[in-house]
Amino acid sequence: MSSLRYLALQELASEDKKIAHYGGKKITAMFGSNVFTGRAMRECLSDEAYKSLMNSAKSGSKIDRKMADQIAAGMKAWAEERGVTHFTHWFQPLTGTTAEKHDSFFTIKSDGTAIELFDGDALIQQEPDASSFPNGGIRATFEARGYTAWDPSSPAFIMEAGHGKTLCIPTIFIAYNGESLDYKAPLLKSIGALEKAAVDVCHYFDKNVTKVTTTLGWEQEYFVVDETLANARPDLVMCGRTLVGHSPAKGQQLEDHYFGSIPDRVYEFMQDFEQESYKLGIPLRTRHNEVAPGQFECAPIFEEVNIAVDHNSLLMDVMNKVAKRHKLKVLLHEKPFAGVNGSGKHNNWSLATDTGVNLLAPGKTPRTNLMFLTFFVNAIKAVHDHADLMRAAIASANNDHRLGANEAPPAIISVYIGKYLTEVLDEIETRVKDKFSEQDEVILKLDIHKQIPELLMDNTDRNRTSPFAFTGNKFEFRAVGSSANCGSPMTVLNTIMAESLKSFKADVDALIEKGEKKEIAIMHVLRDYISKSKKIRFEGDNYSEEWAEEAKKRGLNNFKTTPEALDAFVTDAAKKVFFNNGIYSERELEARHEILLEEYVKKVQIEARILGYIATNHILPAAVNYQNVLVENVKGLKDLGLGESSYKAQLNLLKVISEHIQQINDNVEPMIEARKKANNVEDMHKRASMYCNEVRTYFDKIRYHADKLELLVDDKTWPLPKYRELLYLR
C-alpha cells in the first residue's frame, strides 16, 4: 500500500490545485463592507443611538440598556439585510486562538410564534458556558461562569464561512467577579492607563491635548505548504511544526526566495485572504516573500492598538480558513522547520495625540523636540525597568525555538536607537550637570534641537537583530512570536510606559515645586533617566556570542525558556506595576502565570506524544522494512555463491540502520517515563520545568537518529513528506 506521502505527491503532480482568480477588485469598493461602522451605523441607528455608540467607542462612556436595545436592533437589521442568521460574542481567551459560540436570532415566543430577536441583553453580555477555557483556578470549573461582555470600541463584523454568515460582537471574557480571563480585558485597561499618563505629560507641552491613542502596526510572517502534504504529517497536523525532517540540500542559503516572485498558488491565496480581510476592515497594505523558502509576510496600515490586536487575531483566523479553499495550509507557528528561519510578528508601537502629533516622531521646534525626547526616553526607561516583563510577554513554547536561535532577536531584551539618537542622549547625559546652571538653557534651546532634524536622514541606519528597535517614528518590538496574540506584549508595553510617565511627571513636578523652570526640570529628569537606563541600550549585533557575554556583565537577564521567563509575571515588582496601573490584581497575575505554564506543559506534552508516535509508528517500521529488503538482497547474493565483498556495503548499512533504530528506541522510552513523572507533579511551575528540562531534552536526540534514517531508507517507502517537498512543492 502506498504511504500517505506518496499519495499526496501523486495528487500534487496530477491535479491542478489552482482555483479561480481573486484579484482585480478595487479595494475601496469592498473595504469595511462587513463591518458595522461609519456609514452602516449612521444608516441603521437613530441619531441618539449613533451618538451614544460613538461616544462609547471614543471615550468608553457607558451605554444604557434602552440605548443598547436600539443599537442591537440596528445591528440586527443591518446584518439580516446581508443574509446573517446567527450572532456570536467573539473573544480571545488565553488559549491563544479566538473563540465563538453561535446563537441564532431565531427564537419562539411564549405564544408559540417564531421570531427573529436580538436585543440589548444579547448584545451586552453572554455566558458562553466556557468551563473548559483556561482560568488558572480563578473560576472553579464546576461553576462554569465566565461572561463575555461587549467592547463597543471595536466594531461588530460579519464573518462569512461557507454559505453561513455570522454577526460577531467583539467582547472581553471575564469571570463572574470581574477578573479577566482573556487578552482583551487587560489590554483595554492598559490603554486607559497609558492614555491618562500620556495626556498628563503632554500637558507640559501642549494644553490642547485631550486624548492620546496608542497605535500598533503588526507585520505577520507565515509559511504556506500544500495541504495534502501537510496532512500526511501527524506533527504538522497536531503541533503545527515538524518534529523530524532532515534539512534539504538547498535551504535558504541562496536567498533566492526572498528576492523572487511570489509563487502562483500562494499569490492567489494572498489575494483571496486579502479580499476577505478588506471586507472585515483590516487595512492590509504589504505582501512579500520572506527569507526562508515557503515563507511570506503581510502587514497592514497601523491602527489604534485595540482594533489592531482584534484585526490581527481575525486575520490569523481568516488566513486559516481561506487557505483551505486553496488546498493550502498556513503555518503560523514560530518554528515550523528546523534549520530554516522561523516566523515572528513585529509589533510597531507608537503614541498619537488628538492634536495630530506622533509622540515618537522628532519635532520641528525645540519645544516639540523636547516632547519627543520625553516620550522616547520614557519608553527606554520603561523597558529598562521592566525588561523581564517584556520577555515574559512573548514567552511561549513555540517562541523558545526562535529567540536566541541566531535568526531572531535573542531572549535578552535590549533597545536599539541608532547612531544619531545615541549621540543626542550621550550629549544630554554629559553636558547637563547634576546642578542646575545657566548653561542648561543653551543646551535645551539650541544644541539638542540642532541635532535632531538629522534623524530624518537616519532611515537607512537599521539594526535588524534588535528585539526592540527605534525606527524613526515608532518602536518596533521584534521578538514577538508569529502565532502570538499581540494583546500580551501590548498590555505590558502600555503598562510599563504608563508607569514610567507617571513617575516622570512626579519627578518633574517635584523640581518645579522647588522653583525650577518647567523645561529645565524636564531636561534634568530626562538626563537622570538616560543615565539610569543606559545598560538596556545596545547598538551592536544581537545575534553574536559577544553580546550574550556583554549582557551578562551588564546584569541583563537571558531567560532562554518559557518557564523561567514567565516567573517575571509574579515578582513583587510586576505585581506592583500591574496593580498600580489597574491592570491585574495579584490573584489575576498568579492565575495568568499558572495558565501560561499549563499552556506550555500541554504544548510540550502533545509534541512529546506525537514525536513518540511518529518515531515508533512511522519511522521505525520504514527502517525495519528497508532492512528486510537488504536482508533479502544479502541472502540472494549469498545463494548465488558470491563472496562477502559483494554484499559488504549492504551488511554495513544494515548495521548502521540497526544502531539508529536502537537509539530511537532507547530515547523514546525514557521520554515517556519523564512525561509520566512530570504529569504526577502538582505544582505547575515544577511540572513546566520538568517538561522543559527533562522531557524536551529527548526531542533532539530522537530527531537526530530519525533524520539520519531519512537519509538511509529508500525514498519510495519513506512515510513522511520531506522538507524539500513541503518547502518547495506547491
Quick check: 251 and 293 in contact, CB under 8 A?
yes
- What whole-number distance in Å separates Cα of residue 110 and Cα of residue 112? 5
Mark residues 213-242: x for contact with ligand ADP by CB under 6 A, - for none: --xxx-x-----------------------
Q: Is 312 exposed, middle or buried (0-12, 13-18, 19+ CB in 10 A)?
A: buried
Residue nearest to Mg ion (CB): 346
According to the binding rule CB under 5 A, does residue 505 interact with Mg ion? Answer: no
Q: Please name the amino acid found at residue 388.
A: D
According to the binding rule CB under 5 A, does residue 279 interact with Mg ion? Answer: no
In the bound complex, what is the minimum distance in angstroms from residue 32's beta carbon to ligand ADP? 17
- Count interface residues toward ligand ADP (CB under 6 A): 14
- What whole-number distance in Å separates Cα of residue 288 and Cα of residue 53? 38
For 291, phi then psi, to 5°, come to: -60, -45
Find which of ligand ADP, Mg ion, none residue 477 binds, CB within 5 to 8 Å per kind. Answer: none
Angle between helix axes 184-202 and 305-325 (nearest 10 degrees) is: 140
- What whole-number distance in Å separates Cα of residue 544 and Cα of residue 415? 16
Q: Is 11 exposed, middle or buried (0-12, 13-18, 19+ CB in 10 A)?
A: middle
Stretch that binds Mg ion, among 245-253, 345-353, 657-665, 686-694 (CB under 5 A): 345-353
C-alpha cell at 536: 538596556
Residue 11 or 354 having the CB closest to ligand ADP: 354
In the bound complex, what is the minimum distance in angstroms from residue 275's beta carbon to Mg ion? 24
Q: SS3 for 297?
A: strand
- What whole-number distance in Å separates Cα of residue 265 and Cα of residue 228? 14
In the bound complex, what is the minimum distance in angstroms from residue 219's beta carbon to Mg ion? 5
In the bound complex, what is the minimum distance in angstroms from residue 459's beta carbon to Mg ion? 12
According to the binding rule CB under 5 A, does residue 345 interact with Mg ion? Answer: no
Find which of Mg ion, ligand ADP, none residue 171 binds, CB within 5 to 8 Å per kind. Answer: none
Residue 344 or 563 having the CB closest to ligand ADP: 344
- Contacts of ligand ADP in 182-211 (CB under 6 A): none
- How far lies 704's CA from each of 12, 147, 249, 701, in Å? 29, 47, 17, 5
Residue 479 or 511 having the CB closest to ligand ADP: 479
- How far lies 286's CA from each of 47, 209, 295, 301, in Å? 37, 32, 14, 9
Stretch that binds ligand ADP, among 77-85, 331-339, 348-356, 608-616 (CB under 6 A): 348-356
According to the binding rule CB under 6 A, does residue 358 interact with ligand ADP? Answer: yes
Quick check: 610 and 239 in contact, CB under 8 A?
yes
Q: Please name the amino acid found at residue 156.
A: A
Stretch that binds ligand ADP, among 48-56, 298-306, 527-535, 626-634 (CB under 6 A): 298-306
In the bound complex, what is the minimum distance in angstroms from residue 191's beta carbon to Mg ion? 22
Find which of ligand ADP, Mg ion, none residue 217 binds, CB within 5 to 8 Å per kind. Answer: ligand ADP
Per CB under 6 A, the list member of 237, 254, 301, 649 interacting with ligand ADP is 301
Ramachandran class of 32: left when φ > 0, alpha when ψ lies in -120 to 50, beta otherwise: left
Per CB under 6 A, the list member of 36, 269, 302, 559 interacting with ligand ADP is 302
Find which of Mg ion, ligand ADP, none residue 350 binds, CB within 5 to 8 Å per kind. Answer: ligand ADP
According to the binding rule CB under 5 A, does residue 233 interact with Mg ion? Answer: no
In the bound complex, what is the minimum distance in angstroms from residue 301's beta carbon to Mg ion? 14
Find which of Mg ion, ligand ADP, none residue 300 binds, CB within 5 to 8 Å per kind. Answer: ligand ADP
Residue 346 or 527 having the CB closest to Mg ion: 346
Cα-trace Rg, the chain: 29
Quick check: 124 and 149 in contact, CB under 8 A?
yes
DSSP state of 722: P
Per CB under 6 A, the list member of 135, 350, 378, 396 interacting with ligand ADP is 350
Query: ∠ at Cα 196 (194, 198), nearest 5°?
Result: 65
Q: Please name the amino acid found at residue 694.
A: E
Residue 147 or 349 having the CB closest to ligand ADP: 349
Find which of ligand ADP, Mg ion, none residue 358 binds, CB within 5 to 8 Å per kind. Answer: ligand ADP
- Contacts of ligand ADP in 61-90 (CB under 6 A): none
Per CB under 5 A, the list member of 346, 474, 502, 722 interacting with Mg ion is 346
Residue 216 or 566 having the CB closest to ligand ADP: 216
Find which of ligand ADP, Mg ion, none residue 301 binds, CB within 5 to 8 Å per kind. Answer: ligand ADP
According to the binding rule CB under 6 A, does residue 463 interact with ligand ADP? Answer: no
- What whole-number distance in Å separates Cα of residue 230 and Cα of residue 327? 10
- What whole-number distance in Å separates Cα of residue 667 and Cα of residue 654? 20
C-alpha cell at 451: 541635532
Angle between helix axes 65-81 and 47-59 (nearest 10 degrees) is: 100
Residue 96 or 300 having the CB closest to ligand ADP: 300
DSSP state of 537: B
For cell 529628569, the residue is: 525
Residue 265 or 346 having the CB closest to Mg ion: 346
Per CB under 6 A, the list member of 96, 152, 293, 300 interacting with ligand ADP is 300
Find which of ligand ADP, Mg ion, none residue 474 binds, CB within 5 to 8 Å per kind. Answer: ligand ADP
- What whole-number distance in Å separates Cα of residue 707 and Cα of residue 244? 6
For 490, phi then psi, to 5°, come to: -70, -35
Find which of Mg ion, ligand ADP, none residue 215 binds, CB within 5 to 8 Å per kind. Answer: ligand ADP
C-alpha cell at 400: 523558545
According to the binding rule CB under 6 A, does residue 362 interact with ligand ADP? Answer: no
Angle between helix axes 305-325 and 487-513 (nearest 10 degrees) is: 170
According to the binding rule CB under 6 A, does residue 456 interact with ligand ADP? Answer: no
Ramachandran class of 721: left when φ > 0, alpha when ψ lies in -120 to 50, beta otherwise: beta
Residues that bind Mg ion (CB under 5 A): 346
Residues that bind ligand ADP (CB under 6 A): 215-217, 219, 299-302, 348-350, 358, 473-474
